[in-house]
Amino acid sequence: MKPAYLISLLVVLGLIGMVPTAAAQSRNTLVPAGHLQYAPGPIPDRVILVLAQNPESSQTVNWRTNYAVDEALAQITEAHDGPGLHLTAREVTGTTRPRTSESGLAHHHSVTFDGLRPNTLYAYRVRGQDTWSEWFQFRTARQSFSPFTFIYFGDAQNSVRSHFSRVIREAFMQTINPAFMLHAGDLVNLRRGIHGDEWGEWFDAGAFINAMVPSFPVAGNHEFVYETDEAGERTRVLSEFWEAQFSVAGNGPPGHRETVYFVEYQDVLFVALDSMRAIDSEESAIVQARWLEEVLGRKDYRWVFVSHHHPIHSVSLGRDNPALREHWMPIYQRHGVDMVLQGHDHTYGRGANVPEGAMMVDQTVGTVYVVSVAGPKMYFVSDVARQRMDRLGEDVQLYQHIEVEEDRIRFESRTVTGRVYDAFHLVRESDGRNRLEERLPTGMIERICTNPDREREDRCWQGTELVD
């Protein structure tokens, strides 16, 4: 055994000996106290496709193994109808990063497949220790615009395997050939030191879906953890598991490339911003704003979507993010960003960007802002949001089904049971402006909190009381 691994193994054994108590562990995961559910092994797991900058010709895959696998190796071939995929496959190598959690020492691997043909079905597999994963399939994007559908999720965060699993699986079952899945931050909680189990549950929830439908991940505040220096100062830093598990396009501004990036998908621009760093640091907000201005000024895209975790217009009680409105909102208005997809508030809210905060009579709108939640943690809608927003909701787990057409975006927010909770069309007029057509479902009343035994008076559900 290599000396470095021996040291790491001793650290892991120490961590296992300090497995959190049931009160700290099982309340946010389904893993019983003292049980090592998500130890890395020789068989690849946590396989996930992450959108590359040019998805018509490249695709990134991440996965995890035990520490014995020290090379990132994958095979890829154009998919065909027989089992002899290995006969036509080529091998591609990538990068490997070691990471240690209470689940053990793991190696996280990343490979990017380049030189792919547009609109082509590929099969691939990734290497473990003396074994391979199963073969997975994905289709590359087209080279020019063509209609497509994607899925958008708000926060999963708490009790993920218990409650988020049915959301992502229902979304997959009800969506024909989704192009990708957008996660608007707070994928897990990361506040009790049980990072291995929480990430294990997130990857279990998506299972094979993650390996066949690419993801567009956005970092939220719970993707950041606190570190204490020798002087006792606490600093918020991005979790080391983020970059190891999600090798995003990396085309953002310096110092932000793990969390700020863009992908052009069939002439539609998707941008991920880091609202946590922007709220913590005005300098970061300005750096991201300048970068965004430059990206949006490069060309005229058919549609532009921006996603960040903290909302421009908060929906929940006691929340506000004025720094984002100061530095980012003017850019959205100036460049005609079509939609901003957000999370964080653990409620549902949808409205349009107009100066008075209410809809214009002629229904001509600028940027449409949406806040949504997929997991079980639920807050209350504020009175301010009730005055300004067109559709609201509490105590409702949702996913968003978004169809992108040449001159129309068809948006549906659907409950975990498949009911349409909110719907509208954003129609591109001949003069380049957008017109919003309401398509609210008949008889779907606004959801309000139904929990009769709240753990906290300021929240409908805390989210961590639901798995015991």
pLDDT tens figures, 315-347: 998 899 999 999 999 999 999 999 999 999 999
What pLDDT score does 353 carry?
59
Give the integer Cα–Cα distance in Å for 162 and 164. 6
CA torsion, ordered 240, 245, 248, 253, to nearest 10 deg:
0
Residue type, 404: V
Question: Which tokens in the block code for residue 208?
Answer: 């094979």
Is 14 or 112 the better-scoring residue by pLDDT?
A: 112
Q: Is the pLDDT of residue 124 over 70?
A: yes
Contact call for residues 160 and 198 (beta carbons, < 8 A) = yes
pLDDT band at residue 233 under the 50/70/90 scheme: confident
What domains does the chain contain, in order, with CATH numbers? 37-139 (2.60.40.380), 148-438 (3.60.21.10)
- Average pLDDT in the chain: 91
Q: Is the pLDDT of residue 361 over 50?
A: no
Give the integer Cα–Cα distance in Å for 164 and 376. 7
What pLDDT score does 363 carry?
53
What pLDDT score does 8 carry?
46
Q: Is the pLDDT of residue 367 over 60?
A: yes
pLDDT, tens only, 384-427: 999 889 999 999 999 999 999 999 999 999 999 999 999 999 99
Pairing of strands 215-217, 391-393: unpaired
Helix (H, G, I), strand (E, B) or coil at 340: strand
pTM confidence score: 0.93
Q: Is the pLDDT of residue 290 over 50?
A: yes
Range name among 11-20, 76-85, 223-232 with the lowest pLDDT average: 11-20
Q: Is the pLDDT of residue 6 over 80?
A: no
Give the integer Cα–Cα distance in Å for 456 and 420. 29
For the chain, the residue count is 468
Contact call for residues 114 and 58 (beta carbons, < 8 A) = yes
Nearest by Cα to 188 from 208, 164, 170? 164
What pLDDT score does 120 carry?
98
**Helix intervals (H) in 297-439:** 322-327, 329-335, 383-388
What end-to-end distance do the CA atoms of the chain give, in Å? 40
What pLDDT score does 190 carry?
93
Question: Which tokens in the block code for residue 121?
Answer: 């079905």
What pLDDT score does 451 carry?
95
Nearest by Cα to 202 from 160, 172, 236? 160
Q: Is the pLDDT of residue 24 over 70?
A: no
pLDDT band at residue 228 under the 50/70/90 scheme: confident
Q: What is the rounded average pLDDT of the residues 218-228?
A: 94
Give the integer Cα–Cα distance in Å for 348 and 379. 10
Q: Is the pLDDT of residue 5 over 50?
A: no
Give the integer Cα–Cα distance in Å for 465 and 23. 10
Task: Name the phi and psi angles at 265, rounded to 5.
Answer: -110, 105
Question: Quick one: how far is CA 390 from the chain centroid?
Answer: 25
pLDDT, tens only, 178-190: 999 999 999 999 9
Give the integer Cα–Cα distance in Å for 142 and 290. 30
Nearest by Cα to 144 from 249, 301, 296, 262? 301
Nearest by Cα to 175 from 418, 405, 394? 418
Give the integer Cα–Cα distance in Å for 107 and 66. 6
Q: Is the pLDDT of residue 357 over 90?
A: no
User: How much of the chain, in percent, has pLDDT values that exceed 70?
Assistant: 92
Q: Is the pLDDT of residue 448 over 50?
A: yes
What pLDDT score does 423 carry?
97
